[in-house]
Structure 1
Amino acid sequence: MKKLLLLAVPFTVFLSCSSDSEDTTPVKAKKIIEVKQDNQPFYKFTYNSKGAIEQITNYNNGVPANITVVEYTNDLETKRRVYNSQYTLFNYQTYTYTGKFISERSIFSVNQSTGQEILTQVTRYTNDATKSSNNLTAVQYYDGTGNLKWQQEISYTDKNGSSITNVYSDSGVKTNVSTTVKDNSIAWDKVLDPFVYQHDHNTTSSDNKNLVDGSTTGYTVEFTYDKDNYPLTAKYVHSNGLKYTYTFTWE
């Protein structure tokens, strides 16, 4: 997971069985400004005058790899442009809302030689508007020509956002079951996607069972926190043996 399976996750959408204990809401608001992976820069974040995420720089082996620039309409994120290290646009995403909830995301690739834009994926989201968080209940993924490729149904197991996600093929065959467990502390990766109402807490474990071949993949995370319940470190251990340690800087 040199890319952490976060921003690019076309699979389990920032979802996640931890205890239903009393919520420990942080006593002060903080912004994450830097993430290091094994002591090397991994993400750096900047914010606009309203305190909303404005730019995300992602690093590979400590070297800037791409830059995401966030655009807003009426204080809602409506586009994210992604540039390479030479600041050439190579893809972007647009977001359509129903009320405050994202109902559709469109992903476009950009040919760096010709500038041609190609729609590569459309994702449609079903939200429960009666809830203040953990609203997402279903996701459908389509290719750029409108063909359904696969879909998800999500059920939550606690108020933190822990969840069980059933994945189905385009023909409706159940292919995977993902179980995600979350704690009740502030999520460090909340700014990596515009689903601000969906992702409040940190994932402590995630398992994906492939019903076709019987294999299981996933990871566990061990966090440390500051006195305000913001994560300071996270040790990720993956089922394939890979291990990464992340450190977080807040202001």
Structure 2
Amino acid sequence: MTKKSTIKVGETNTYIVSWLKDYAKNANVNGFVVGISGGVDSAVTSTLCAQTGLTTLCVEMPIHQDSTQVSRGREHIEQLKKRFPNVKSEIANLTSVFETFKNEVPFSNDTIRLDLSLANTRARLRMTTLYYFAGIYSLLVAGTGNKVEDFGVGFFTKYGDGGVDLSPIADLMKSDVYALGEYLEIPESIQNAAPTDGLFGDSRTDEEQIGASYDELEWAMLEADKKGENENYTEREKEVFQIYKKLNTINQHKMKPIPVCLIPIEIKYC
């Protein structure tokens, strides 16, 4: 199920950079702030923002972070600052903030729910931090989610990494992001690293959490558009398709607008 990107990489790069510049101009802001994780999505997003010539603030926000993720992120930031004079960086170590939060909320013996809640808390602390920097420097928070994560399986934290002002790469499959990463010459250490959300303080990968690779999920996402499961699928394809369908279904609350209780006119006005 290895997927190869079909986008025109150079033209896609130019289009996104132009879109970012126009959006920032219309919003009357100075540029963008991007959370840097050491992964390909944030590396590509920050490089796209940097090409606008507008202020691009790259923020590291470690919370008990795996050392390899930290080193990849810093390698990328240093490379980006050498290439683009408009790139700046900040480090906000949120480990003590996270620990304080843990000490102030009730403990749960349900370790699965506890671990997931704390993982999502990390993402939400980072979102709050990015909006702090956005506020003091008049920047927009640029999201780093790709199409598979944002609109396929909902692999992001609601009001965490899903809380952004604009999403430059959310119409790109993961294979497209990798193609852009190669074109933009982001560090090979990032291009070759297994994708991880970095929310558990260890090196577990996205594939280990989801049960399928991004290549497999791209395949399933395209198959789902055909409105049905094919009886000729292999056993692994059947398994992946079911994983995709399950995650796509249970995470619809992340992908759809917030439900609003609309009051009937006959009882709204007296």
TM-score range, shorter chain: under 0.3
Larger strand share, 1 or 2: 1
Higher relative CO (CA 8 A, sep ≥ 6), structure 1 or 2? 2
Higher radius of gyration, 1 or 2: 2
TM-score for both structures, normalised by structure 1: 0.25
TM-score for both structures, normalised by structure 2: 0.24
